[in-house]
Amino acid sequence: MTAANIAVVLLAAGLSRRMGQDKLLRTLPSGQSLLEDRIRMINSAGVVPFVAVPDKSTKLEIVDRLSANAIPIETQGMGHSLSTAVNALPEGIDGIMVMLSDLPDVTSVDLGRMIERFDSKTILRASSAKGTPGHPVIFPTRYRPQLEALSGDKGAKVLLDTDFVDLFPLPGQNAVRDLDTPEDWDSWVETGSMTRRR
């Protein structure tokens, strides 16, 4: 399996209510926003992602100037964002990787290893080193109709709960550490994680 066979959907349309500001626009020591950093990480894995972002937003402007495909989202909700993005994907792909944009420690090496492991038949889900399910998740294209039919804020959880899922451990907390609150962000900075990525 090669990166060219996998379409990567980066979900970046959330409102970051618990953070108190748009976390994807927060600046890292590199001078990049978290959103720009995540897109460039995906690019480093040899992939041009499809990024679900709010219509007429600063995030849309960021995506437009990077090596990424912007998918403008008009209605909130992870299910709606995912279905809109999947509907925009090209034909002829073998899998759809769904990635959350607030997972700061996922690396291009992690993505490459998952793409290598994916068999195009079974859902492949990243986990922590100790086996806690996380993200990204790669869906075989036979799930495309179900993903395109999602709505609201439930995302693809129903598929993950009812179908067989192959867990793929990533190093440490890469697959499960997300940044939802200012405390999460401060803790992440204090661990020095942002200086040990890629």
What's the rounded mean pLDDT across residues 38-50?
96
CATH number at residue 189: 3.90.550.10
Number of domains in the chain: 1
Question: Domain containing 15: what range?
Answer: 3-195
Written in H, E and C, the secondary structure of 72-120 is EECCCCHHHHHHHHHHCCCCCCCEEEEEECCCCCCCHHHHHHHHHHCCC
The chain-wide mean pLDDT, for the chain, equals 89
Name residue 35's amino acid: L
Q: What's the token pair of residue 91?
A: 């034909």
Structure-model confidence comparison of residues 187 and 6, the more confident one: 6
Least confident of 28-37, 40-49, 92-101: 28-37
Which residue is listed with tokens 């890292």?
A: 28
**What does the pLDDT read at residue 71?**
96
Rounded to the nearest 10°, the torsion over CA 34, 109, 81, 186 is -30
What's the rounded mean pLDDT across residues 133-146?
97
Provide the 3-class DSSP secondary structure of residue 181.
coil
Q: How far apart are CA 150 and CA 77, in angstroms?
A: 10
Percent of the chain scored above 90 by pLDDT? 66
Q: How far apart are CA 142 and CA 145, in angstroms?
A: 7
Whole-prediction pTM? 0.92
Instruction: Verify cis geometry, omega within 30 degrees of 0, for the bond prior to 136.
Output: yes
Digit-coded pLDDT (tens) for 68-100: 999 999 877 888 899 999 999 999 999 999 999
